[in-house]
Structure 1
Amino acid sequence: MASKSTYEFYKDDLKSIPPTRAMAETLICDPRVRTVSAAEAYELARRQTDVIQTDLPIYPPAASRLGLPEGATVLNNVHGRIVGRTAQARRFYNRMPAAERRKVLGDVREAFMALRERPLIKAHAVVGLDPDMMIKATIVAAEDDAMNVFNWLVNFTPYEELAEQYEASTVLPVPDIIVVGDNHWTVRDPYYHDEGGSQLALVDEDANVMFNFGMRYFGERKKGTLTLAWTSGMRLGWAACHGGIKEFDFSECDDAPKNIGKRSIAFFGLSGTGKSSHTNAVDNAGTLPAGSSKVVLHDDAFQIDSEEKVCRVWEPTLFDKTDSRPLGHPEWDYCISIMNHGLINADGKVLPMGQDLRNPNGRALFDRDLLGDYVNRCRFPDLVCWLTKDTTLPPILRFSNGELAVAMGASLMTRRNLAENVSEEELKKLVFIPFANPFRVYPLWKDVEAFLGVMDHGAQCYCFNSVGFWKHSDSDLNPIPLKTSLTLQTSILLDKLEWRDWDLLPGAQIPTAETVNAVLPGFAETYDPDSVDAREAYLTTLEDRFAQRRRFLEQSDLNEAPELLVRLVKALRITR
């Protein structure tokens, strides 16, 4: 088997079992906590007061795989004020002072006491689809939270479905994952984040345990589980990737593309930066050459093994925003579950409207068949792309310096969006999310080392700006249409661009006017950083953005690795 049970992992020294793990394991061992299948969780979820059954059929192959009855329809889990992730609720057990740990552990034991007053269920899943990267996971919840259990089984893979492959998979020196959730937890204590009720997401990455209390949103269970999976992969020396990756095969094309053969490209960016659009684009807005083919690994979560030169996937489904999928969109055919959707009675059928009409951040779980051809492992990324929202950067940059490339990833700049539970004021701020992964629970220097390894093993790094490029000011911009970005993606895949050094940022390059205008007429003139209006204001803003990047890294836990910090900060220099 792959990961290890609590006993198998700690049997040589049972006294080393962390208390968080001991509490979770004790709960799992209670015979009154009954194990449910996906079909049983679905039936329980249909009875929840915050769940509405629609007339949209669940994608039939997925329904069959999950053991659901023929004709099963999609369930809509609807919430109140909070319809996104709440980062402020996260508490990191291994970073707490001793007194704080004792307090939180006492509160968690009380939470478990309250949870056990209701009928409890548990379910088992396999996280990871490649036989060299499989971890067993267990979720525990009350029966009145069965919707989250069902969605969790959909998002990962019910254990029974992969039992044979799992038992034959590579043994990994990591413990199984355990997630415990209670939507109805309440406590009056200013220590905990409170927004209409107390909230706690307690992470113990060493024990591979997470508790979600007072949090309804499924994304908390999903990303909590992935947080532990990514961290387990990091223990094994694999780079954790909150991103998408696809692999192209140009060998059946005519002329020059044929000589490229296979090439993979990865995208890292938060919601709204174009990660899914870049990863899942059918034909890159019609710019791919005839005869090319592609497979997608995933658009959200994978791991890079630089030594073996492969990437491996964690999930069999897509957890997507649906603001661009209106009523009747063909991709609804692949739907398995939805949350926080407005519904409408259309010709006697209750259907999801999409488009975020009820609230921001409407979400759906789609089968991966939506992507067309997909794989559970693919080649090492030939191209790595950071997706940023920085108005001072051209639509695309290439990095000739690996340290600058990693420094840009470690200080990836974006803006908050409505997928996150933050204030209106926070939505206006520029923020830094290293490598687009807000779920990192280990020191940043470990990610920096991992991605330096990716660059050292041959990946070429780029940066795409998806917000718009300075025209007259930071708010008066030349837009960067998605089709432009997709055309640029195809151009770098096919080596159509030549590059010149960008004198303002040593180690960065921009496309030569002749080669980029050949694929996008007028591009060089529209997005030329040397001919922007209000150039002095532009240069001042550009310098400020890079000063912010340097300050962010200097104030991060990269201070634990001072040599790395110096190398990255030195690379982030604007020269006039």
Structure 2
Amino acid sequence: MASRASHDYYRDDMTRMPPLRSIAQTLCLDRRVRKVTAAEAYALARKQHDVMDTDLPVYPPAARRLGLPEGATVIDNCHGRIVGRTAKARRFYNRMEPSERRKVEADLREAVYEMQRYPLIKAEAILGLDADLMIKATIVTTEDDAVNVFNWLANFTPYEELAEVYAKSPVLPIPDILVVGFNHWTTRDPYYHNEGGPQLALVDEEANVIFNLGMRYFGERKKGTLTLAWTSGMRLGMAACHGGIKEIDFSGCQDAEVQAKGKRSIAFFGLSGTGKSSHTNSHDNGGTLPAGFSKVVLHDDAFQIDCAGKVCRVWEPTLFDKTDSRPLGHPDWRYTISAMNLALTENDGKVLPLGQDVRNPNGRALIDRDLLGAYVNRCAFPDIMVWLMKDTCLPPVVRFADRGLAVAMGASLMTRRNLAENVNEDELKKLVFEPFANPFRVYELWKDVEAFLNVFVAGAVGYAFNSVGFWKSSDRDLRNIPLATSLTLQTALLLDQLEWRDWDLLPGAQIPEKESVERLLPGYAATYDPENVENRERYLETLKDRFHQRRVFLQNSDLHNQPELLMKLVNALMARA
């Protein structure tokens, strides 16, 4: 399905074109703005003052896909104070009062006026790799921001690569996406966020436009663009997923009981640092998957669930991964396309990017999806949905027998901030709620709640994995939950190896029966059974408080505009602690 250009989308009444789209569209059509390919953007990027060349080859298949010259090497774009996303810089045009809109529109026109003093470039991409879900996007920025254009084209797909497929796809009732970046923007106006420098991410999700002003970090371009793609998918009736999903096929296994499982798909939802990629990308779940299985991955970060079609579709051909766990010589480096905020080191006469967050937190690399092994552009509807929680009161795995509780736990997903985000030290210490692990939602929460309720009604089963550690004697004195334990539990879900008992502290939730889990993880019950916690009275108080916080969070959200839906979720979150 193809999106529509501005003229086609608004042709019945051009006065319906919103101001922000008109401003962006006018800039895009300025004939002085030079259109560039990925190869041209790469050549320009190598000349930028903040971009360094390395001796690490760009992953050859990706280099060919992007049209890069023979022997192209990975470039490293390093920033200053800000090396992560700045959520507080976002302003949502459609939530503003009329007077506020007029102010922002004027400030934006002034910013574009200043932007046009610089040589400008633009590029076109296609978001989505399945012919049934494709959206055209255009990015415009200054020539000295070419590295972000190159990374954006590498992260998505240069238009020319899928032009024929796109031309044959049915037309969507969705406008093309427009992205404008201007790193040189500055202001002293206290209205705009200033954490390490003035920044503005101005979003009009109805017009499919985003402006990144004063924001160098590539993650702003990537997630801003994805925000509009996810929202477009929502407008088409699909659930927007900031998560990873894979499909396991057991039909090749020798054991007849295992073989009978056929294909099972499992999705993971969590913010950076919760194990989303580790669970999605793990080759064999730490050796716990049976011999003879096969696996395909859709993506580890972004996809869309189509309940009507019972399929999931992917947006991107690459991974934008943290490199904190990838030392020099790690096999993943061979799949690298581009690097951001990484130290450089010299090894055997070669200058190479150095991960492990040596230079600064949140070092990143764009990595080809070939890293995942076999992958697909669409996969089966998820059988299993896992919320990755940073809640110390939850055991390593909880099953939700009640759909309302499954949705309520996703809608009030509890986590902690991390160094992938541009926040101060106090914010890093706070427990926060991020519904469905998607900080990029720009529409009402109740729409997400309805979408995910549809997913569970359509047959998915919900679980929570605790990814931070389980209560030993306090919220700080925790029992470690190794990744190997979580991967073993993942396999157990896929193979239905666990039996469940109702958790008396949370109606509608279940925890593993002792005998079934001990067969897989000896000592599990003694370590993680909520009955065995130390300082139990304090544990029960904290558990009760956590679920009270969840209820209050939902009651203070826009769900109050949908009282029946709100009551369904609130009533499901009644812990008996």
TM-score, normalised via structure 2 length: 0.99
Partner SS for 1:530: helix
Maintained 8 Å contact 1:382/1:460? yes
Cα distance in structure 1, aligned partners of 2:575 and 2:461: 22
Q: Which residue of 1 aligns with 2:183?
A: 183
Deviations 1:410-468 (A, max 9, x none): 00000000000000111000000000000000000000000000000000111000111
Maintained 8 Å contact 1:133/1:312? yes
Cα distance in structure 2, aligned partners of 1:86 and 1:59: 30
Maintained 8 Å contact 1:252/1:291? yes
Q: Which residue of 1 aligns with 2:93?
A: 93
Partner SS for 1:260: coil
Cα distance in structure 1, aligned partners of 2:428 and 2:171: 43
Q: Which residue of 1 aligns with 2:333?
A: 332
Deviation at 1:170, TM superposition (A): 2.5
Deviation at 1:561, TM superposition (A): 1.0
Deviations 1:513-563 (A, max 9, x none): 000000001101110101211110000000000011011101111111111
Q: Which residue of 2 aligns with 1:241?
A: 241
Partner SS for 1:129: strand
Partner SS for 1:355: coil
Q: Which residue of 2 aligns with 1:489?
A: 490
Cα distance in structure 1, aligned partners of 2:424 and 2:367: 29
What residue ranges of structure 2 are gaps of 5+ in the alignment?
Answer: none
Cα distance in structure 2, aligned partners of 1:368 and 1:403: 35
What residue ranges of structure 1 are gaps of 5+ in the alignment?
Answer: none
Structure 2 residue 472 is the aligned partner of structure 1 residue 471: yes
Q: Which residue of 2 aligns with 1:438?
A: 439
Pairing of 1:107-146 with structure 2 (within 5 A): 107-146=107-146
Deviations 1:43-66 (A, max 9, x none): 000000010011110000000110
Deviation at 1:89, TM superposition (A): 0.4
Deviation at 1:275, TM superposition (A): 0.2
Q: Which residue of 2 aligns with 1:17?
A: 17
Cα distance in structure 2, aligned partners of 1:300 and 1:169: 25
Maintained 8 Å contact 1:76/1:339? yes
Deviation at 1:197, TM superposition (A): 2.5
Maintained 8 Å contact 1:178/1:208? yes
Residue identity in the other structure for 2:390: K
Partner SS for 2:55: strand
Deviations 1:117-144 (A, max 9, x none): 0110000000000000000000000000
Deviation at 1:174, TM superposition (A): 0.1
Cα distance in structure 2, aligned partners of 1:39 and 1:111: 28
Residue identity in the other structure for 2:164: E
Partner SS for 1:101: helix
Deviation at 1:91, TM superposition (A): 0.1
Cα distance in structure 2, aligned partners of 1:140 and 1:270: 28
Higher deviation after alignment, 346-355 or 120-129: 346-355
Deviation at 1:305, TM superposition (A): 0.3
Residue identity in the other structure for 1:228: L
Q: Which residue of 1 aligns with 2:316?
A: 315
Maintained 8 Å contact 1:133/1:170? no
Pairing of 1:212-361 with structure 2 (within 5 A): 212-255=212-255, 256-361=257-362
Cα distance in structure 2, aligned partners of 1:196 and 1:185: 14
Deviation at 1:346, TM superposition (A): 1.1
Deviations 1:469-522 (A, max 9, x none): 111111111100000000000001000000000010000000000000000011
Partner SS for 2:231: helix
Residue identity in the other structure for 1:307: A
Pairing of 1:523-534 with structure 2 (within 5 A): 523-534=524-535
Cα distance in structure 2, aligned partners of 1:257 and 1:401: 27
Q: Which residue of 1 aligns with 2:413?
A: 412
Partner SS for 1:104: helix
User: How large is the RMSD of aligned CA atoms in angstroms?
Assistant: 0.6
Deviation at 1:198, TM superposition (A): 1.3
Q: Which residue of 1 aligns with 2:205?
A: 205
Residue identity in the other structure for 1:481: P
Partner SS for 1:174: strand
Q: Which residue of 1 aligns with 2:367?
A: 366
Q: Which residue of 2 aligns with 1:102?
A: 102
Q: Which residue of 2 aligns with 1:68?
A: 68
Residue identity in the other structure for 1:245: I
Residue identity in the other structure for 2:74: V
Maintained 8 Å contact 1:295/1:373? yes
Q: Which residue of 1 aligns with 2:42?
A: 42
Partner SS for 2:79: coil
Residue identity in the other structure for 1:253: C
Q: Which residue of 1 aligns with 2:83?
A: 83
Deviation at 1:400, TM superposition (A): 0.4
Displacement over 3 Å in runs of 4+:
none
Residue identity in the other structure for 1:185: W
Q: Which residue of 1 aligns with 2:506?
A: 505
Aligned residues: 576
Maintained 8 Å contact 2:195/2:422? no
Residue identity in the other structure for 1:369: D
Deviations 1:35-90 (A, max 9, x none): 00000000000000010011110000000110000000001000000000000100
Deviation at 1:574, TM superposition (A): 0.8
Partner SS for 1:187: coil
Partner SS for 2:135: strand
Residue identity in the other structure for 2:248: F
Deviation at 1:195, TM superposition (A): 2.6
Cα distance in structure 2, aligned partners of 1:528 and 1:238: 37
Deviation at 1:196, TM superposition (A): 3.5
Deviations 1:329-358 (A, max 9, x none): 110000000000000111211101100000
Cα distance in structure 1, aligned partners of 2:72 and 2:185: 31
